[in-house]
Amino acid sequence: MKINSHSFSTALAIAATALAGSPAVAQGVGPGVLYTVILPAGEFGSQNYTDVLTGNIAAAQKFCAELGNDSYTVDCLSERLEKIADDIPRDSDYAEVKTILKNTSDQLADLARANRDPAQTRGRATRAGENPVTTTRPLTPVRPEAVPQVNAQAQAILDNTQTLLLRSAEGSESKALQYSRIADALGSSKVLLRSA
């Protein structure tokens, strides 16, 4: 994995999911991508779409762990969470998750910018290979001496995000199950921040 200052475009394909029962359909359009989320009538969300979200969070953590420079970790998580939030359809049961993830991304980006290391270059991270990935924007490096403190603050932001997700799901058993899984996936990001 490398950090560079060149622009690359990325395409993400999300597989369509079909479930039995009387479905309600939510569609979202990304840049060149159309995906359909099929939801069972009378229930919140889809276990399969939650699998997509938690899988994307795990892939984001793996991508950021492979950077090889701890100074970029917080803003990498910010950028990847923003990408995940952007890919969630606005008119779906996951619109609240979209908003929460976007707010979390903004807080992490602000934290990285407030502790920017002017001695290191801002740049896009790229992973080549069978499934190439490039960040959608240049990443901001944190001053090396500030990394432990910034990572602790980032963990607190993720803790707050988990709490928001769990509170948002109160009163709905099916929503609570899906939001809990997303919160757990986000919680595993704290391991990445502790190891940096």
The answer to whether the beta carbons of residues 95 and 101 sit under 8 Å apart is no
For the chain, the structural domain boundaries read 2-195
| Cβ-based neighbour number of residue 194 at 10 Å | 11
Calpha distance 89→99 (Å, rounded): 11
- What pLDDT digit, counting tens, does each position of 72-119 carry? 999 999 999 999 999 999 888 899 999 999 999 999 999 999 999 999
Q: Are 142 and 108 in contact (CB under 8 A)?
A: no
> Tokens 């002017």 correspond to what residue?
118
Q: Please give the pLDDT value at position 93.
A: 85
Q: Provide the pLDDT for residue 174.
A: 79
Q: What is the pLDDT of residues 10-56, one digit of tens each?
A: 222 222 222 233 333 344 444 555 555 544 444 466 788 999 999 99
- C-alpha–C-alpha distance, residues 86 and 127, integer Å: 20
**Contact call for residues 139 and 6 (beta carbons, < 8 A):** no
Instruction: Round to whole Å and give the CA distance between 142 and 19.
Output: 44
**Residues facing 33 on adjacent strands:** 30
